[in-house]
């Protein structure tokens, strides 16, 4: 790594730019963290005769755009899967409306919420295993999961005829125990 490669003076500027892109403090933290990891891996290619901040901003932007592209592709895959699953096994009439509401509520979730719910709630990953898969700290997984559950609950409450869904969103373990 080159001696001129000190990102510390630029952290606040990078975070503010990340906040502009993501509209969310936590997502800006995650974006800047991921971008800085990429920048460090690319540090040998950095031309020290050029200003560092524009180079770092470009990496933050490219990291964001890559994430958006991946999220959109994942959303399309999830939507296609949800449409297929409706036809695979028709539910009983009683539960048809509730399951339809759940499908719609899940499809409305941002990708980062849907994936953490799937990893922890459906697949039963531990928080640390989900963090490893997502490449984020365990605390971030816990925070995203909490937000995802709240958004899902709100989406279900809005779509339910009775105003409140009976679905409970559970799952996840703090440690690796089964």
pTM of the model: 0.47
Question: What is the domain range of residue 7?
Answer: 1-89
**Number of domains comprising the chain:** 2
DSSP 90: P
Give pLDDT tens digits for 20-30.
999 999 999 99
Confidence of residue 86 (pLDDT cuts 50, 70, 90): low
Give pLDDT tens digits for 96-139.
777 777 777 777 888 788 888 888 887 788 898 888 888 899 99
Any idea what the CATH number is for the domain that residue 48 is in? 1.10.1740
Q: Are 169 and 105 contained in the same domain?
A: yes
| CA 8/CA 94 separation, integer angstroms | 58
| CA 18/CA 8 separation, integer angstroms | 15
Q: Are 8 and 68 contained in the same domain?
A: yes
Confirm if 4 and 48 have CB atoms less than 8 A apart. Answer: yes
Q: Are 72 and 137 contained in the same domain?
A: no
The SS3 call for residue 173 is strand
Q: Are 3 and 59 contained in the same domain?
A: yes
């Amino acid at each position: 790594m080159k001696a001129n490669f000190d990102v510390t003076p630029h952290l606040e500027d990078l975070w503010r730019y990340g906040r502009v892109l993501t509209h969310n403090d936590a997502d800006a933290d995650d974006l800047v963290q991921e971008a800085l990891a990429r920048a460090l891996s690319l540090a040998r290619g950095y031309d020290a005769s050029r200003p560092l901040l524009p180079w770092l901003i470009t990496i933050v932007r490219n990291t964001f755009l890559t994430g958006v592209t991946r999220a959109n592709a994942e959303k399309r895959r999830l939507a296609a899967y949800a449409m297929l699953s409706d036809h695979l096994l028709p539910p009983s009439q009683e539960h048809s409306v509730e399951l339809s509401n759940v499908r719609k509520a899940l499809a409305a979730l941002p990708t980062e919420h849907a994936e953490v719910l799937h990893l922890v709630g459906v697949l039963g990953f531990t928080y640390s295993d989900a963090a490893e898969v997502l490449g984020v700290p365990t605390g971030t997984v816990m925070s995203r999961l909490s937000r995802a559950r709240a958004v899902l609950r709100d989406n279900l409450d809005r779509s339910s005829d009775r105003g409140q869904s009976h679905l409970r969103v559970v799952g996840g373990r703090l440690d690796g125990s089964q």
